[in-house]
Amino acid sequence: MNNPALEFREVCFHYASKNKANPPTLADLNFRVNDGEFISVIGPSGAGKSTIFRLITGLEQPSSGQILINGEVSINRLGQVGYMPQQDLLMPWRTILENAMLPIEIKGAKGKAGEEMVLSLLKDFGLEGTEDKHPGDLSGGMRQRVSFLRTILSGSNILLLDEPFSALDAITRLTMQEWLLDQWQNLKKTILFITHDVDEALFLSDRIFVMSDNPKALKEVNVPLGRPRSFRDISQPDVLLLKENLIDQLRPRVES
């Protein structure tokens, strides 16, 4: 996993403001994500997590610095990565098959071959038999599976997941975390995953990027767990110690 899928080099970003004295949202940000890694991003609200995602997707451009996708400086990044938001954003008037087909339609590749591919993926994702149903007929976890399927159909090796399980109940959330790990290992994708849940970050990730808001900075933490892993593994003494350390880093910002 030595090949870089994503790099930020000295990236700074300012949101437009009449007050020129306002500090940058991100300043001199450097990080590298290797191909096939699972990275979680945690930090208090306002620390810049969503801004990083907006920069990666190309919805925003850095004030200075460079963003590299698969080793190449990329200015026009729209459509180069897959993005899954907090809400599934499935269209309620379209069937599950029609919702899943959307990325293929956007690429202009709609046809029988594309439909057969999506039907096969629905089966792989545990969604066989739902193709003619509508989003309102599915549970929250199943809708998130459809949303993830639509994300991977972007064709990118880099997937950005923005708190995708935050609205789910605890048991469904754990089930989806385990399911996501299985899919990630099968698909060999690179994942960046925003979460406010330290346990979730520890369970899923190879590394954790910890954002702070004062000063705005990013710290990288290695998760001392091998793979495959189970949720019980985060009860290991060294992982519990790391969890306490991460919570200590976040708590003062949350309470201030």
pLDDT, position 174: 94
Positive or negative CA dihedral for 30, 35, 41, 47?
positive
Per-residue model confidence (pLDDT) at position 44: 85
Looking at residue 17, what is its pLDDT? 65
Which pLDDT belongs to residue 93? 96
pTM above 0.85?
Answer: yes
Tokens of 7: 């790099």
Q: Which residues of the chain have pLDDT under 70?
A: 1, 17-22, 109-110, 214-216, 252-256
Within the chain, residue ranges assigned H as helices are: 49-57, 96-100, 102-106, 112-124, 140-152, 170-187, 198-204, 237-255
Encoded tokens for 57: 């997707």
- Spatial neighbors of 139 by CB under 8 A, at least 6 apart, are 172
Buried b / exposed e over 210-242, threshold 16 CB at 10 Å, is bbbeeebbbeebebebeeebeeebbeeeebeeb
Q: Give the whole-number percent of the chain exceeding pLDDT 70.
A: 93
Closest CA to 146 of 181, 101, 201: 101
Residue 129 and residue 67: Cα distance in Å, rounded?
Answer: 41
- Residue 4, CA distances (Å) to 1, 29, 73 in order: 8, 16, 12
DSSP state of 62: -
Distance CA 11, CA 129 (A): 46
Dihedral, 15, 21, 23, 25 alpha carbons, nearest 10: 0
pLDDT at 252: 58
